Structure 1
Amino acid sequence: MAYEVNGKSIEADEEGFLVNINDWNEELAGLVAKDEGVDMTPEHWEVVNFLREYYAEYQIAPAVRVLTKAIAKKMGPDKGNNKYLYELFPYGPGKQACKIAGLPKPTGCV
C-alpha cells in the first residue's frame, strides 16, 4: 500500500502504517486521517504532535494506557482520559493516532 502526496508515493504496510517514519509530514497526516474518517482539529494535532515527541524521546509508540497517563501528566486530566481520546480517535487512540502521526503500530495493539 502507498499514499500519494504531491506526486510522491509514500510506502505503507498493509494496515496503512508508514514503512519509513521520516516520510511523514502534516499533509500526509491529513490524508491518512481522511482515510481513517478523522477530521483533524487542533485537539487532534495536539495528540499527534505529542505522540511524535514521545516517539522521538523514547523510540517507541506508547500503548493506550501509557499514552493516556502521559497526556494527563502534560495536558491535564481533561485530555488525559480514555473518553476524550476515543472521541478524537474512535478506532483507538493508540493505533489510529499513531497511524496518523506516521509512527509504527504501538506494541500490544491488535
Structure 2
Amino acid sequence: MNLFRALAVVLALTLGLSAVPAQASDAISNTSSGDPIYSTNSPPFYKMLGDLIIARPLLLGATVIGTAAFIVSLPFTALGGNVKEAGQALVVDPGKATFVRCLGCTESGYKQD
C-alpha cells in the first residue's frame, strides 16, 4: 500500500470516528421499571443497526490503534509513572465501548452497586 492510500485510510478512520455523534439523551427515559439503578435500555432497531454496521467496526479499529499506541508509548509512560492512566485511556475505555456495551446503547459497561 503506498503512502497516499495509507494516509487516506487514516484520514477516513479519523473522520469516521469524529463523525459518530455523542448521545446526550437521558437513558432513564427508556426505563420500563422506573427504578434508576435498574434501567432497561431498549434502543430502536435503527440505532442497533447503525451501531452494528458503523460504530462497532470503528470502535474495534480504535481499540486496536489504541493498543498499538499504548505498546509504543509504554517505555515513556513507565518512566513518567502513568502506565495505569495510559492503559485506561488507550485500551480499556475503547475496549469497553466496543465489547461491553449493549447493541445500540449509549453507556458502556454494566450497572453495578
What TM-score do you get using the length of structure 2 for normalisation?
A: 0.29
Larger helix share, 1 or 2: 2
Structure with the larger RCO, 1 or 2 (CA within 8 Å, 6+ apart): 1
Larger strand share, 1 or 2: 1
What TM-score do you get using the length of structure 1 for normalisation?
A: 0.30
